[in-house]
């Protein structure tokens, strides 16, 4: 039997939120490579246009929509438009996200709320918008992009960790509530990935040396490197495919082994 067919996404419509670039773009590219029709959104038309061009440069005819994932009316209207123009969404990747790195007692409540809004409330809003059609269709895959901060804290990322911890539990709850409709909801927990979101943590110092945090992460990761967004493509295709139909409510950590390792001992 040609077992690889179980990993095919042929005939499937995949919506990846916030996927003009970064991790979302890499996941969409991998899913396109497995046969999926790619739909993505971003907040600004110029970024959607840039994203469409970037996908086209990879030979992918992606469908782009301007939509702020925190705007429930906008999300509902966009999902309805996608269903009309492209087709029912078979695969949802809740990827769009922000981070604000501020010591907690210095963080304004409005900034804390904004991170929760994008990183936790929005996956609820978008999942709520796509699940009814998945139920009607008899299947669906939801992949929430969690984080190592779904498990750990660290200085300055209180809002982000609270959101990503909540996203882990939202993942388990969607699994619990909709598994009977053949909907699988899992998370991917990337480790430290080289994207614009982590660029500040990798900036070269004034003296040309590597950022201390860059050195810290590399010493804590058995792979001895930062992850690349492309490292997430395979795990995402697996969780979006028939091959994972009995995997539900799990967070698949793609972290180069950082969570298994005490860290390189001082030489």
Q: Which residues bind ligand NAP (CB under 6 A)?
A: 17-18, 20-24, 41-44, 47, 68-70, 95-98, 118, 145, 147, 190, 192-193, 195-198
Select the span of 26-34, 176-184, 185-193, 241-249 touching ligand GCO (CB under 6 A): 185-193
Query: What is the rounded CA–CA span in Å between residue 20 and residue 29?
Result: 11
Residue 241 interacting with ligand GCO (CB under 6 A): no
Is 65 one of the catalytic residues? no
Let me know how long the chain is: 267
Select the span of 38-46, 124-132, 145-153, 239-247 touching ligand GCO (CB under 6 A): 145-153
Q: Which of 3, 21, 65, 160 is an active site residue?
A: 160
Select the span of 85-93, 134-142, 193-201, 234-242 touching ligand GCO (CB under 6 A): 193-201
Q: Between 24 and 64, whose beta carbon lies closer to ligand NAP?
A: 24
Residue 197 interacting with ligand GCO (CB under 6 A): yes
Query: What is the rounded CA–CA span in Å between residue 119 and residue 150?
Result: 11
Angle between helices 72-85 and 122-137 (to 10 degrees): 30
Which of residues 198, 221, 241, 244 is near ligand GCO by CB under 6 A?
198
Q: Which residues are catalytic?
A: 160
Residues that bind ligand GCO (CB under 6 A): 99, 101, 147-149, 154, 157, 160, 190-192, 197-198, 201
């Amino acid at each position: 039997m040609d077992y690889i067919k179980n990993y095919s996404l042929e005939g499937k419509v995949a919506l990846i939120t916030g996927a003009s670039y970064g991790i979302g773009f890499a996941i969409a590219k991998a899913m396109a490579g497995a046969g999926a029709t790619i739909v993505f959104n971003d907040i600004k038309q110029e970024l959607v246009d840039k994203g469409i061009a970037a996908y086209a440069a990879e030979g992918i005819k992606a469908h782009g929509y301007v939509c702020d994932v925190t705007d429930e009316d906008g999300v509902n209207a966009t999902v309805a438009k996608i269903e009309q123009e492209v087709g029912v969404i078979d695969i949802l990747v809740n990827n769009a996200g922000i981070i604000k790195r501020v010591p907690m007692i210095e963080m304004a409540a409005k900034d804390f709320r904004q991170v929760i809004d994008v990183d936790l409330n929005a996956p609820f809003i978008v999942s709520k918008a796509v699940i009814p059609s998945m139920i009607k269709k008899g299947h669906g895959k939801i992949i929430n992009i969690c984080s190592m901060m779904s498990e750990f804290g660290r200085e300055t990322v209180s809002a982000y960790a609270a959101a990503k911890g909540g996203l882990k539990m939202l993942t388990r709850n969607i699994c619990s509530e909709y598994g009977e409709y053949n909907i699988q909801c899992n998370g991917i927990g990337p480790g430290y990935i080289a994207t614009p979101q982590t660029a500040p943590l990798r900036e070269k110092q004034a003296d040309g040396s590597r950022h201390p945090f860059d050195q810290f992460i590399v010493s804590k990761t058995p792979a001895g490197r930062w992850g690349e967004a492309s490292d997430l493509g395979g795990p995402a295709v697996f969780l979006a495919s028939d091959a994972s139909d009995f995997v539900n409510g799990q967070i698949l950590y793609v972290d180069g082994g950082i969570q298994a390792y005490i860290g390189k001992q001082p030489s």
